[in-house]
């Protein structure tokens, strides 16, 4: 069942969303050569606590991993797709890309967003990967309207990515969000005919998160049980926003 949120609930989700946006904005300003992914983690952890919120990812149990996640951020560098773990050993270098994904719970409601950033000078193909991934999200956001269907979102991401010569990751998906980090529906970045294709209705909130590889779609998970990487070693990008369905169209909760 897809849980719809009333106006008061959406206002709470808006506050969570804006906190996530502020965190990602601050972390973006920190990015540079020599900064470690643990530096980002420490800064985010402080901002979440100062806001009186709870980190959504830290302690999150994944049946697939069989463990609880240990950090407030996922920091996925270069060929890492998602769920990279912050580390004092991972200093960013010019030419890298880093995806920063974070979530918070504030007044009972979750917010969740991700952005992928270049470090220093990155080559033109990598810049194009970031642009295409972000644009696929923007095009999907535009489909978040009452009367459209879930597959309109999925197919919009897939078509734009494939048209541009990249591939969408199939093993990880977006999700509904509310009082749980992960609610129905699942939101693949491609059409999965095994899933239902519900009509979008006012009050639904969707975390849409394209994960796009420069090379082939195939992924694998490292021995740490969390870090997902591309099988072919190609670069990967990830952007995510939480979007509410309203009578006036899409309301992106995770940006002003």
Q: Give residues in contact with ligand MF3 (CB under 6 A).
A: 57, 60, 62, 69, 74, 83, 101, 112, 114, 175, 181, 207, 209, 240
What is the nearest approach in angstroms of Co ion to the Cβ of residue 139? 18
Among ligand MF3, Co ion, none, what does residue 60 contact (CB within 5–8 Å per kind)? ligand MF3
Question: Which one of ligand MF3, Co ion, none is in contact with 241 (Cβ closer than 5 to 8 A by kind)?
Answer: none
Q: Least Å distance between CB 209 and Co ion?
A: 5
Partner touching 57 among ligand MF3, Co ion, none, CB below 5 to 8 Å by kind: ligand MF3
Look-up of token digits 């080559």: 123
To Co ion, the closest distance from the beta carbon of 187 in angstroms equals: 9
Residue 138's Cβ-side half-sphere holds a number of Cα atoms within 13 Å equal to: 7
Nearer Cβ to ligand MF3 (73/92): 73
8 A C-beta contact, residue 111 and residue 179: no
Q: How far is the CB of 17 from ligand MF3 (least distance, A)?
A: 13
Q: Which is nearer to ligand MF3, 171 or 232 (CB)?
A: 171
Under rule CB under 5 A, residue 152 binds Co ion: no
Q: Residue 39 corresponds to which tokens in the numbers above?
A: 């530096």
From the list Co ion, ligand MF3, none, partner contacted by residue 238 (C-beta under 5 to 8 A by kind) = none
Q: Shortest gap between Cβ of 94 and ligand MF3 (angstroms)?
A: 27
- State phi, psi for 44 to the nearest 5 degrees: -65, -40
User: Are 9 and 46 within 8 A, CB to CB?
Assistant: no
3-state secondary structure of 20: helix
9 or 112, CB closer to Co ion?
112
Residue closer to ligand MF3 by CB (options 9, 209) is 209
Residue 168 within binding range of Co ion, rule CB under 5 A: no
CA gyration radius for the chain?
Answer: 17
Taking the complex as a whole, the smallest distance from the CB of residue 165 to ligand MF3 amounts, in Å, to 25
User: Counting contacts by CB under 5 A, is residue 112 touching Co ion?
Assistant: yes
Nearer to ligand MF3, 128 or 182 (CB): 182
Helix (H, G, I), strand (E, B) or coil at 160: helix
- Dihedral angle over CA of 24, 27, 33, 39, nearest 10: -130
Rule CB under 5 A: choose which of 207, 228, 229, 252 binds Co ion: 207
The DSSP letter of residue 157 is H
Strand partners, 243: 206, 252
Cis peptide before 185 (omega within 30 of 0): yes
Helix (H) or strand (E) holding 133: helix 124-141
Closest CA to 57 of 69, 40, 48: 69
For residue 231, how many C-alpha atoms fall within 13 Å in the half-sphere facing its CB?
A: 9
Cβ at position 138, least distance to ligand MF3 in Å: 18
- Kindly list the residues in this chain that would bind Co ion in the complex (CB under 5 A): 112, 207
């Amino acid at each position: 069942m897809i849980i719809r949120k009333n106006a008061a609930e959406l206002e709470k989700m808006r506050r969570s969303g804006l906190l996530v946006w502020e965190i990602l904005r601050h972390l973006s300003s920190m990015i540079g050569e020599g900064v470690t992914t643990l530096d980002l983690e420490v800064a985010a952890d402080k901002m979440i606590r100062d806001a009186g919120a709870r980190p959504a990812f830290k302690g999150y149990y994944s049946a697939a991993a069989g463990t609880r996640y240990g950090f407030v951020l996922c920091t996925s560098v270069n060929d890492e797709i998602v769920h990279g773990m912050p580390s004092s050993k991972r200093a960013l270098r010019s030419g890298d890309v880093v995806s920063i994904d974070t979530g918070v719970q504030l007044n009972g409601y979750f917010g969740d967003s991700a952005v992928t950033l270049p470090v220093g000078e990155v080559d033109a193909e990598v810049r194009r990967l970031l642009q295409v991934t972000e644009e696929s999200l923007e095009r999907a956001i535009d489909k978040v309207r009452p009367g459209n269907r879930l597959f309109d979102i999925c197919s919009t991401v897939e078509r734009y990515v494939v048209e541009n010569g990249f591939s969408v990751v199939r093993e990880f998906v977006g999700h509904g969000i509310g009082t749980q980090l992960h609610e129905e529906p699942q939101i693949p970045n491609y059409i999965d005919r095994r899933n239902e294709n519900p009509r979008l209705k006012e009050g639904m909130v969707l975390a849409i998160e394209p994960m796009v590889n420069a090379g082939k779609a195939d992924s694998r998970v490292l021995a740490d049980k969390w870090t997902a990487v591309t099988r072919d070693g190609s670069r990967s990008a990830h952007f995510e926003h939480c979007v509410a369905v309203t009578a006036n169209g899409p309301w992106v909760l995770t940006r002003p």
